[in-house]
Amino acid sequence: MTHFTDFGLARPIMTALDRERHTSPTPIQAGAIPAILAGRDLLGIAQTGTGKTAAFALPILQGLSSSPQPVRPRECRALVLAPTRELAAQVRERFIAYGAALGVRTALVIGGASIGKQRAALRPGVDILIATPGRLVDLMKQGAASLDGVQFFVLDEVDQMLDLGFIHSIRSIAAKLPAKRQNVFFSATMPPAIAKLASSLLNNPARVEIAATKALKIDQRVMFLEKPAKSAALIEVVKKDDFQRGLVFTRTKHGADKLVRVLTAAGATAHAIHGNRSQSQRERALAAFRKGHTRILVATDIAARGIDVSDVTHVVNYDLPNTPETYTHRIGRTGRAGAAGVALSFCSSEERSYLKAIERLTRQSISVVGGGEHRTAGAKPSGAPANRKRRKAKKIDRSLNSSSFMKDLLDSSEKDPLMKSGNDNGENGAARTRRRRHRGASGGCQSRRAG
């Protein structure tokens, strides 16, 4: 499939694709769309930024438009679950863009927004419901949402959903779905937990796995420095001319807010986005970042896969993630659509194990920068000896070569007759020293043998 016209999509969808300037399908789209149109369950695996949303949105819109039917109150015909609010909102935007001329009704059900308004939106029923698992479970418990009419069930970014602990919510939602439905799973990685979940929910699925045919144009770098030095290093990075728009990832919400204050004090405009911010605050921060009103967005991993912003030149891992898969999703926010990008990670001594895990997963060494050096990440950082013995040996060598040490040694030899040449049965200096150390309870004879 080399053109969207090859799929036999309805004219309104083709018009929308032309408006969105989509001409040729990406590899994941070329593999997934025919399988979904044929009615098969699908397990799609492809790296981030490859067009997975269109890969399931287009065939679902085609299926809904080709067999129109009324929707009963509080029900939906297609259900899409996403792990984060931002990603869910982006998925809805794509459905609206591609299905603008089809007259389909969509609803967004996410945490942090008014649950009353969401109940009202679901009351007449909708064609497509995009939701985060937790909020959907809440609405189901209240009797405000029913899944009896679901024909298409989509899990987007399944691996992150499992990382965020949604497995119980997903299973409770799946238990309420009708037995006859079409299931579509999409993910960027395929750990064993996803394979187990897929085997329990998918029925003889078509598997479309797209390996990276060409490396993303992301210059990956790591800088070794301890935590107290990270903020100063970040300020230096964001003030460089090539830093135009960047995402900075921290491990904690408190750390994100603190970093925004540090950057603002240094004259760099920044906003934070994390779970403690209200939905309106998160939307305003993301909108300001998209429009270029702020150059820096500081985020926790809740936004690692929910931000699709063009022209992000830098991703900075202020804190390295403790799961290596998260690293790939973070840096995937740059180098999108063929553009070049920089992914810089700050690595403290406590985080070196995380770095090794990342290199094992990506099967490549990350270039080390800082202090004029350029090494592979497997090498020890500057100033760190390979082991304690080598460090101790260097310390002894420096002491032996110092003039003060030699002066003290000569002075002591003049005062101590045992250190004078010819007064020790022909022993050299090292032997004399060993003999003197062994002198004591063992007696002179024993110490001479030891020497």
pLDDT digits (tens, 9 = 90+) for 288-332: 998 889 999 999 887 555 667 778 999 999 999 988 888 888 888
Label residue 73 by pLDDT band (50, 70, 90). Answer: very high
Same domain, 429 and 312: no
Same domain, 187 and 243: no
For position 165, what pLDDT does the model report?
Answer: 82
Written as one string, the DSSP assignment of 407-427 is HHHHHHHHH-GGGSTTSSTT-
The domain boundary residue, chosen from 353, 376, 399: 376
For position 362, what pLDDT does the model report?
Answer: 85
Token digits of residue 73: 């109150």
How do strand 367-369 and strand 218-224 relate by DSSP bridges? Answer: parallel
pTM: 0.67
Residue 325 lies in a domain: yes
Token digits of residue 433: 């020293």
For position 47, what pLDDT does the model report?
Answer: 75
pLDDT-wise least confident of 7-21, 145-159, 360-374:
360-374
Token digits of residue 378: 């497997």
| 51-71 pLDDT per residue, tens | 899 999 999 999 999 988 899
DSSP state letter for 150: -
For residue 404, pLDDT over 50 is answered with no
For position 447, what pLDDT does the model report?
Answer: 36
Same domain, 190 and 234: no
Among 230-234, 339-343, 368-372, name the most confident range. Answer: 230-234
For residue 443, pLDDT over 90 is answered with no
Token digits of residue 13: 């969808």
For residue 1, pLDDT over 70 is answered with no
Residue 324 lies in a domain: yes
The domain boundary residue, chosen from 323, 346, 376: 376
Residue 431 lies in a domain: yes
Same domain, 200 and 241: no
Residue 399 or 87, more confident: 87
Label residue 380 by pLDDT band (50, 70, 90). Answer: very low
Token digits of residue 347: 């690595």
Same domain, 371 and 436: no
Same domain, 19 and 130: yes
| Residue 394: other Cβ atoms inside 10 A | 11
Residue 369 lies in a domain: yes
Residue 381 lies in a domain: no
Total domains, the chain: 3
Residue 40 CA to residue 266 CA, distance in Å, equals 54
Mean pLDDT of 402-419: 40
Residue 132, classified by CB atoms within 10 Å of its CB into exposed (0-12), middle (13-18) or buried (19+), is buried
Q: Which amino acid, 357? A: A
Tell me how long the chain is: 451
Token digits of residue 271: 């906003």
For position 370, what pLDDT does the model report?
Answer: 78
Query: Is residue 185 within 8 Å of residue 148, measured between CB atoms?
Result: no
- CATH code, domain carrying 155: 3.40.50.300
How do strand 341-347 and strand 218-224 relate by DSSP bridges? Answer: parallel
The domain boundary residue, chosen from 183, 210, 237: 210
Residue 75 lies in a domain: yes
Same domain, 270 and 126: no
For position 228, what pLDDT does the model report?
Answer: 94
| 222-275 pLDDT per residue, tens | 999 999 999 999 999 999 988 999 999 999 999 999 999 999 999 998 999 888
Same domain, 369 and 251: yes
Rounded to 10 degrees, the C-alpha dihedral 283/287/293/295 comes to 80
Same domain, 438 and 294: no
| 180-235 pLDDT per residue, tens | 999 999 987 777 888 888 889 999 999 999 875 445 678 999 999 999 999 999 99
Same domain, 155 and 265: no
Token digits of residue 130: 């995009």
Average per-residue pLDDT in the chain?
A: 82
Residue 38 lies in a domain: yes
Same domain, 53 and 153: yes
Residue 223 CA to residue 158 CA, distance in Å, equals 31
Same domain, 158 and 38: yes
Range of the domain at 414: 388-450
For position 216, what pLDDT does the model report?
Answer: 61
For residue 400, pLDDT over 60 is answered with no
Residue 72 lies in a domain: yes
Residue 31 CA to residue 83 CA, distance in Å, equals 24
For position 125, what pLDDT does the model report?
Answer: 97
Among 165-169, 221-225, 420-424, name the most confident range. Answer: 221-225
End-to-end Cα separation, the chain, in angstroms: 85
Token digits of residue 438: 């062994």
